[in-house]
Amino acid sequence: MITITPNDFLYLGPLGVLTLVGFLLVLAEAFTIGKHRQFLMQLTVAGCVLAMLAAIVTWRQLQPGQTISAFSGMLIADRMSMFLIALFSGTTALVAMLGSAHQSEYGWEVGEFYGLMLLATAGMAMIAMAGDLVTIFIGIETMSLAVYVMTAARRGSRGGSEGAMKYFLMGAFASGFLVYGMALLYGATGSTNLAVIRGVLAGQASSPLTVAAVFLLIVAFGFKVAAIPFHMWAPDAYEGAPTPVTGFMAAAVKTAAFAGMIRVFVFGLGGDVVPFGHIGWSTIFAIMAAITMTVGNIAALRQENVKRMLAYSSIAHAGVLLVGIVTAGIDPAGEGLSAVLFYLLSYSATTVGAFGVMVWIGNRDRERVLISDWYGLGAAKPAAALVMTIFMLSFAGIPPTGGFFAKFILFKSALMAQDGSLLWLVIIGVLNSMISIYYYLKLVMAMYFREATGEFKPLRSGALTFVLVTCGLLVMHMGMMPSRWLGYLGI
Amino acid sequence: MTSAFYDLTVSHFLILAAALFMIGVAGVLLRRNAIIVMMSIELMLNAANITILAFSRGFAGEHRAAFQGQTFALIVIAIAAAEAAVGLAIVVTVFRSRRHSDIDRLTLLKN
Amino acid sequence: MNQVVVRWLWVSIAAALVVFFVAAPGLALAAEHSAQAEVSAHTFKNSKAVAFLFWFLAAGTLGGSIFVITRRNMVTAVMGMVATFFAIAGLFLMLYASFLAVMQVLVYAGAIMVLFVFVIMILNRPEDEPWAIHGLLGKGMAAIGLLYLFKRLASILWQVKDTHGLVVEKAQLAADVVLNHADPGVAAGTKELITRSYQFGSVEGVGYTLFSNYLFPFEAVSIVLLVAVVGAIAIARPLHKEAEMADQEAP
């Protein structure tokens, strides 16, 4: 009669910690009044660190390649999911520190912010551990609903509510596609469990119904990762949201969407489901990756607003990550999957750091979001300019930063997949990296070779400094010793 | 033709759901009022639910697969409710700051 | 009385009548159908009355949804939506999902639509959306594209009626292979579920699945609902400044 055993709860530790601390924060918000709410941020960080530790402990208990399914296959605990949960928790902790400084400076101390952020992280953990389409759907919705609210959390900001509206409508539209695709997949295979779906689809010519389902899922995930042509919400939502929330969206939410993609496409659907081209659904993703990289980078070239530039740059990075997904799909034995995970790690650290500098540089009177606002930072604040330069180099993929090795490993694994059939995609990717150097260095040039316009009055906050230093060191360390970090993936 | 009319199959329900889904997509693409767009999204979710339940009816001989579908549909309804609540809250926020809810007139953030 | 309000009232009454005439007989017939028929795998009990009921509900669903997306008046659109949901509930009954049909009426037609009506009343801007002529070409192309997609999808779905029986057997085999190897506890659970046979679509069956195999999603939905409640309150409550101003004006 009972199908749930105590065993099932054993691997639920990290997810449970995130959820419980999230509940606690929502309660704490309700029972405290006034502006002395620094402890909310501290509680958030403590919860994230605890969840991270739990994920690391669980990670150590699992063998490489071992998968444990819990709750009738609804959740899967393996090393990849634990790695991703640790990554999400770390990102959330750092963003919470940014959020505190930004909130007190710009006067939007919304107490619910932290609780929602942790619950969003719990949704991401669900996606990372998902073994069933239902879990993926619930995880994506938990995360998305919380992030829509966080985008609009700065009350009275017209940009915030407008960005949230566009983000919500496009996100809900994508959810419609997601559910309909899942419904058709359920009809085509008779199950919502990803492992069972894989078993049913393996070794048979795929039915037209499966093809239709996969197309719908591609559209849905295309919206979620902001791949072109489904990207139109991203620049507006990124620009409208408060800067720490933008960092959260660009780093953690994008990573979670890719985790969902890995679960559904790489693990659930195998490589040869869609008879479209010779590499299955990967063909569509390969084309999408090429367009996304190119258009994202070209659009980023002409942006004058740093936030908007980083939004287009994050679209371009989604294109690079899609190359990794294609590689992992057509060559499951290769290094595609670990390349994607390493890229996500380095991209998250860089993104949080870059948005940290953006939070740091502005103040209530002058938010400094345009490139011209960054003129002369190198002379006035050399340390901050150095850190930002590290992040820009990492985004552009220049050694010795983590971004360089992430791109290198990813393109190398793509080259080795299927005897170089992805050569054209790698060439496009490398060309795009060269284009992207131009606009990343534009910001660096602005910092070092222009005269300052007005005195810099950055935010002074210990937490903020900690975030910047941590992210800078992490990015450099990933660039110096990538093999150690690849070892932490353990796949 | 008459047999297609009288002999109901799973496909009848599925095609009806597909039509409903397309109407929902059309509503999202063609309308500019945020509330109508949200209703169109609800139509899309309902189309997905009809599809799930029709397949589940088709699997009626096998209890696990069939009940899986019905439970999935229940969860979709719950989440649609949550989504509607958040969406309407965002509409109220936008309306408060600019007295309308037209998507096309939200042009503060542009290139 | 305001002319707009009067028109709303008339439209609402008309819509309610439509709801009554579309949905009530349909629901009654469908309930009867659902109670009497034995569920056998892969076959539908076909009679002319059932077929007519289906086409009736299909017309209600499609007509209602087209009504929704073509209205300028938002309250009218909501009424069309309610009619659509009643028709969909009837379809759910025809598919032996009686519990889901009740939920559809209670949650969708009852709760969500009332929420929509409340927000529309708060906004109180009935018709601020003139039809744009300049975008007509794009809209026409979008409509043609959607029609084409629908035709492709429909031709795929029309073939499903011949093949879906096979799918179940494959899924059964795959589930035994995959889940048995993954976790013996799961396999025992699924065997248990198969040996207990509930009447298809019964509340017991749905409840059993919800609290056994679907326990985790059931719990996780509570997180989504919490996020929605907390989030909606966080952004939709009045700003402190507004509240203070209201306080000052009050005395």
**Spatial CB neighbours of A96, under 8 Å, sequence gap ≥ 6:** A41, A44, A45, A48, A114, A117
What is the tens place of the pLDDT at every residue in A112-126? 889 999 999 999 999
Contact between chains at A141 and B83 (C-beta distance less than 8 A): yes
The total domain count for chain A is 1
- Evaluate if residue A336 carries a pLDDT over 70: yes
B97 vs C contacts (CB less than 8 Å): none
In this prediction, residue A450 has a pLDDT band, given cuts at 50, 70 and 90, of confident
Higher-scoring residue by pLDDT: A238, C182: A238
* C40 domain residue, yes or no: yes
Domain ranges, residue A427? 271-491
Q: What is the dihedral of CA B59, B61, B67, B73, to 10 degrees?
A: 30
Residue A157 in domain: no
Residue B36 sits at the chain A interface (C-beta within 8 Å):
no
What SS3 class is residue A305? Answer: strand
10-residue averages of pLDDT along chain C (251 residues): 61 65 60 50 63 88 91 85 92 87 89 89 68 69 89 87 67 63 48 54 81 89 94 82 48 39
| A247 pLDDT above the threshold of 70 | yes
With a cut of 60, say whether residue A317 has pLDDT above it.
yes
Interval A22-58: pLDDT, tens = 999 988 887 876 656 678 888 999 999 999 999 999 9
**Is the alpha carbon torsion for C210, C211, C215, C218 positive or negative?**
positive
Does C227 contact A187 at a Cβ distance shorter than 8 Å?
no
Residue A70 has what DSSP assignment? E
pLDDT of residue C15: 65
Distance to chain A for C127, nearest Cα, Å? 20
| Interface contact C212-A207, CB threshold 8 A | no
Nearest CA to A408 out of A310, A283, A324 is that of A324
* φ and ψ of A69, to 5 deg: -105, 140
A123 touches chain B (CB under 8 A): no
Q: How many residues does chain B have?
A: 111
Class of domain B10-98 (CATH, top level): mainly alpha
Q: For residue A168, what pLDDT band results from cuts at 50, 70 and 90?
A: very high
- Contact check, Cβ <8 Å, A165/B24: no
* Residue C34 located in a structural domain: yes
- Is position C141 within any domain? no
Tell me phi and psi for residue A76, to 5 degrees: -125, 130
Q: What is the pLDDT of residue C198?
A: 61
Residue A214 lies in a domain: no
pLDDT, position A421: 79
> Mean pLDDT over all residues of chain C?
74
Chain C CB contacts of B44 under 8 Å are none
- What are the two backbone dihedrals, phi and then psi, of residue A304, each rounded to the nearest 5 degrees? -100, -20
The amino acid sitting at A172 is A
Q: Are A274 and A281 in contact (CB under 8 A)?
A: yes
Nearest alpha-carbon partner for A324 in A342, A350, A311, A312: A342
Q: Both tokens of residue A273?
A: 């489901």
- The pLDDT value recorded for residue A200 is 82
Domain CATH for C34:
1.20.120
- Residues A364, A366, A371, A372, Cα dihedral to 10°: -170
Is residue A453 assigned to a domain? yes
DSSP letters, A112-125, are HHHHHHHHHHHHHH
Report the mean per-residue pLDDT for chain A: 88
Angle at alpha carbon of residue A432, lines to A431 and A434, rounded to 5°: 70
Which residues does residue A76 pair with via DSSP β-bridges, in sequence order?
A69
Ordered mean pLDDT values, 10 residues apiece, chain B (111 residues): 74 92 91 88 95 85 71 93 94 81 66 46
- Report the residue from B20, B39, B95 with minimal CB separation from C77: B39
Return the structure tokens found at A76. Answer: 């899967």
Q: Does A3 touch chain C (CB under 8 A)?
A: yes
Confidence grade of residue A352 (pLDDT, cut at 50, 70, 90): very high
Q: B91 touching A, CB under 8 A?
A: yes
Question: B60–C206: do the CB atoms touch at under 8 Å?
Answer: no
B 5-34 → A contacts, CB under 8 A? 14, 21, 24-25, 28, 34
**Alpha-carbon distance C155 to C148, whole Å?**
11
What pLDDT does residue A225 have? 92
Q: What is the pLDDT of residue C1?
A: 44
**pLDDT recorded at residue A428:** 94
* CB-CB neighbors (< 8 A) of A120 in chain C: 227
Q: At what angle do helices B34-58 and C74-94 cross, to 10 degrees?
A: 0
CB-CB neighbors (< 8 A) of A190 in chain C: 167-168, 170-172
CA distance A281 to A284: 6
Q: Flag whether the pTM goes above 0.80.
A: yes
Which of B10, B79, B95 is the best residue to mutate to test the C interface, defined by the most C CB atoms within 10 Å of its own CB? Answer: B10
**pLDDT of A334 higher than 80:** no
Q: Which of residues 61-100 of A touch C (CB under 8 A)?
A: 67-75
Which of B45, B75, B89 lies nearest to residue A138, judging by beta carbons?
B75
CB of A141 within 8 Å of a chain B CB? The answer is yes
| Residue C160 at interface with chain A, using a CB cutoff of 8 Å | yes
Residues C100-144 pLDDT 10s: 998 999 998 888 999 998 888 888 765 655 555 556 787 888 889
Highest mean predicted confidence (pLDDT) among A8-17, A206-215, A258-267, C23-32: A258-267
Rounded average pLDDT over A273-288: 70
Locate A313 and state its tokens. 């740059």
A435 CB within 8 Å of a chain C CB? no
Q: Locate the chain B residue with the closest alpha carbon to A188.
A: B55
pLDDT at res. A452? 81
List CB contacts (< 8 A) between C157 and chain A.
209
- Find the closest chain C residue to B38 by CA distance: C116
Residue A377: exposure state from Cβ atoms within 10 A (0-12, 13-18, ≥19)? buried
DSSP assignments along A73-139, one per residue? TTEEE-HHHHHHHHHHHHHHHHHHHHHHHHHHHHT---THHHHHHHHHHHHHHHHHHB-BHHHHHHH
Of A320, A344, A306, nearest in space to A432 by CA:
A320
Backbone dihedral angles phi then psi of residue A229, each to the nearest 5 degrees: -95, 25
Domain ranges of chain B: 10-98
DSSP B17-82: HHHHHHHHHHHHHH--BHHHHHHHHHHHHHHHHHHHHHHHHHTTTSHHHHHHHHHHHHHHHHHHHH
Contacts of C175 (CB under 8 A, 6+ apart): A191, A193, A196, A199, B64, C190
Q: Which of B45, B90, B101, B111 to mutate to test the interface with A (most CBs of A within 10 A)?
A: B90
> pLDDT digits over C25-48, tens only?
566 655 555 544 445 444 565 677
User: A158 and B97 in contact by Cβ < 8 A?
Assistant: yes
Buried b (16+ CB within 10 A) or exposed e, A176-187: bbbbbbbbbbbb
Cβ–Cβ gap A189/C167 under 8 Å: yes
CB atoms B62 and C171 under 8 Å:
yes
Mean pLDDT of A145-160: 88
Q: What are phi and psi of A28, to 5 degrees?
A: -60, -35
- Asked whether residue A428 is domain-assigned, the answer is yes
Higher pLDDT, C27 or A168: A168
Q: Of the candidates A1, A74, A200, which has its C-beta nearest C170's C-beta?
A: A200
Q: Tell whether C30 is covered by a domain.
A: yes
Nearest CA in chain C to A202: C174
Distance from CA of B4 to the nearest CA of A (A): 21
B17–chain A nearest CA distance, Å: 10
Taking residues A319-325, report their average pLDDT.
93
pLDDT on residue A65? 80
Query: Which residues on adjacent β-strands are paired with residue A370?
Result: A305
Does position A439 have pLDDT exceeding 60, yes or no? yes
Instruction: Say if the Cβ atoms of B30 and C112 lie within 8 Å.
Output: no
Nearest C-alpha of chain C: how many angstroms from B105? 11
Lowest-confidence range among A1-10, A59-68, C185-194? C185-194
Whether the CB of C126 is below 8 Å from some CB of chain B: the reply is no
Chain A residues touching residue B72 (CB < 8 angstroms): 133-134, 182, 186, 192
Q: What is the pLDDT of residue A68?
A: 85
What string of DSSP letters covers C48-74? Answer: HHHHHHHHHHHHHHHHHHHHHHH-SSH
Contact status, residue A466 vs residue A333, Cβ threshold 8 Å: no
Interchain contact C123–A (C-beta under 8 A): no
The chains in contact with chain A, meaning 3 or more Cβ pairs closer than 8 Å, are: B, C
C-beta atoms surrounding B98 within 10 Å: 14
Nearest-Cα distance to chain A for C234, in Å, is 7
**Residue A247: partners with Cβ closer than 8 Å, 6 or more residues away:** A95, A98, A351, A352, A354, A355, A356, A358, A359
pLDDT of residue C232: 92
A135, C216: Cβ pair inside 8 Å? yes
Cβ-Cβ contacts under 8 Å for C89 (sequence gap 6 or more): C23, C27, C101, C102, C104, C105, C109
Q: Residue A187: what pLDDT?
A: 87
Instruction: Give me the sign of the Cα torsion angle A237, A239, A243, A249.
Output: positive
- Chain B residues whose CB is inside 8 A of the C228 CB are 81-83, 85-86
Say if the Cβ atoms of A190 and B62 lie within 8 Å: yes
pLDDT of residue A170: 93
- Touching C (3+ Cβ pairs <8 A), the chains are A, B
